[in-house]
Amino acid sequence: MLDFLTGSNFFYIPYEKPDRIFSEMSLIGETKLNILRELKNGPAHGYAIAEEIGASSGGIYTHLNELEEEGMIAVTEERESGRQQKYYELTENGELLLEALGED
C-alpha cells in the first residue's frame, strides 16, 4: 500500500485495487441521494420523504436544509388545514446531479 502524509492527516490509497477507491468514494451521502431520488417523483413534505426513504423524521430536516443551501432542492410553503406546510422539490441542479450520478 502507498502511504501519504499530508499535514496532520494520514491516509492511504490501496493501489492494488483502484476500483475499490472509486466504489468507496461518494460525492453525496446516501441519505441525501435518497432524498433527491424521492423528489424525482414530485414535490413532497419532509415527513413523507422521511417515511418513504426510512429516515428519522427529525434528522431528515438537517439534510433537507443542506440540500436547499447547496441549491439541489427548493422549498415552497403552503397553507393546508390551517397550518403552514413546507414542500420540497428538485431544482435543475438537483436533476443534473442525479443525471451525473447515473440516476436517470
Is 4 contained in some domain? Answer: no
Is 23 contained in some domain? Answer: no
Is 22 contained in some domain? Answer: no
Task: Provide the grid cell at 2.
Answer: 502507498
38 lies in which domain range? 28-100
- Which residues 6+ apart lie within 8 Å of 95 measured at CB? 40
Is 73 contained in some domain? Answer: yes
pTM of the shown model: 0.72
Number of domains within the chain: 1
Only one residue has cell 420523504, namely 49
Structural contact between residues 78 and 87, judged by C-beta atoms closer than 8 angstroms: yes
Is 53 contained in some domain? Answer: yes
How far are the Cα atoms of 10, 17, 35, 66, 100 from residue 28, in angstroms, in the given order?
A: 23, 22, 11, 11, 12
SS3 54: coil
Is 6 contained in some domain? Answer: no
Q: What is the pLDDT along the chain (104 residues), one digit of tens a residue?
A: 444 444 444 444 444 444 444 444 556 789 999 999 999 999 999 999 999 999 998 889 999 999 999 999 999 998 888 888 899 999 999 999 999 888 87
